[in-house]
Amino acid sequence: MPTISTKPYLSVVIPAYNEADNFKSGVLKPVIDYLNAQKYTWEVLLVDDGSTDETNELLTDFCLGHPEFKLRRIEHGGKAVAVTEGVLAASGQLILFTDFDQSTPITEVNKFIDHHSQGADLVISYRADRRDTLIAKVRGWLFATLVQVVALPGILDSQCGFKSFTRKSAQKIFLSLIVSRPTKITGGYMGAFDVEVLFLARKFGYRIDQVPVKWVRYVSDRLNIWREPLMMAKDTFKVRLYDILGKYDVI
C-alpha cells in the first residue's frame, strides 16, 4: 500500500449522484486494487452531489475504512458542480476525474500519466471502441459534430468522462467556468461542462492530448435521453456566445 501523503502525486475525483446500486455492485474495488499497486502516492475524492438514496451513508462508512478516500457532500447541482468541487479540493500534481460506474476503467490512467510526462497539460479520452446502442451512437455523433463546428474543432470526443489535468491547468480552468457555474437543478443533469472546460483550456493555450480508451455504457435511467442532448447543445452555443461577447476575456 502506498504511503499516505498530504501532497499525493495523483488525485482522482469521482462524482456520485444516487450511486447506491453501483456502490453495492463493487465498482470501487478495482479502483482500490489498481491504485494500491502503483508506486506513486494518490488520493480519491468522492463528491456526493446531494444524493437522495443511501449513497452518502454508504460512502461515509466506506471512507472510514479507506483513509486514502475522502468524501465531500454538496447540495445537488449536477455533475459540473460535483467535479468542480472535487478538482478544486484536490492536492495532487495530476488530477483525474472519472465516472463512478467506471465505464472507463481506472487502469487507463497510466497512459494519461505518460502523456503528462511528455508535456501535456490536459489529457482527454475518446471512445475508440464504443460499446453502445445504435441510437446512442448516432446521438453521440451528432453532438460531437455540433461541438466541433461550434466550439472545439479537432476534438474527437468532448464528453467521455475520463480526463486528467496538471494541477495548475485544473485550478485555472475550473475557477474560470461561467456557463457551468453552480445552479439549483433537479434530477441527474450532466450538461456540457466538458465543452466549456476544453474551450477554456484552448483559450489559455494549454496543450491537450487525446487518447483512445475502453468504454462501456452502463444502463441508467437518471438522464432524460431527449432533454439532456438539447440542454447540452444549448450550453455549447452559450460557450461560443460568451466568447464572442468577451465574457472570458476578463478572466
What is the per-residue pLDDT across 173-222, written as a single tens digit (0 to 9) for each?
A: 999 999 988 666 666 566 789 999 999 999 999 999 999 998 887 655 55
Cα separation, 44 vs 196, whole angstroms: 24
Q: Is residue 24 domain-resident? A: yes
Which of 9-18, 118-127, 213-222 is predicted with the least confidence, judged by mean pLDDT?
213-222
C-alpha cell at 162: 475520463
Range of the domain at 123: 10-244
Rounded to the nearest integer, the mean pLDDT of the chain is: 89
Q: According to the model, what pLDDT value does residue 175 have?
A: 95
For residue 125, CA distances in Å to 21, 71, 159, 194, 240 come to 26, 25, 9, 12, 22
Q: Is residue 5 domain-resident? A: no
Its pTM stands at: 0.89
Q: Is residue 234 domain-resident? A: yes
| Percent of the chain topping pLDDT 70 | 85
Q: According to the model, what pLDDT value does residue 231 have?
A: 84
CATH number for the domain that contains residue 106: 3.90.550.10
Q: How many domains does the chain fold into?
A: 1
CA atoms within 13 A on the CB side of 64: 6
- In the three-class reduction of DSSP (H, G, I as helix; E, B as strand; rest coil), residue 212 is classed as strand
Q: Is residue 149 domain-resident? A: yes
Q: Is residue 251 domain-resident? A: no
Cα separation, 191 vs 105, whole angstroms: 22
Q: Is residue 4 domain-resident? A: no
Q: According to the model, what pLDDT value does residue 63 have?
A: 97
Q: What is the pLDDT of residues 42-101, one digit of tens each?
A: 999 999 999 999 999 999 999 999 999 999 999 999 899 999 999 999 999 999 999 999
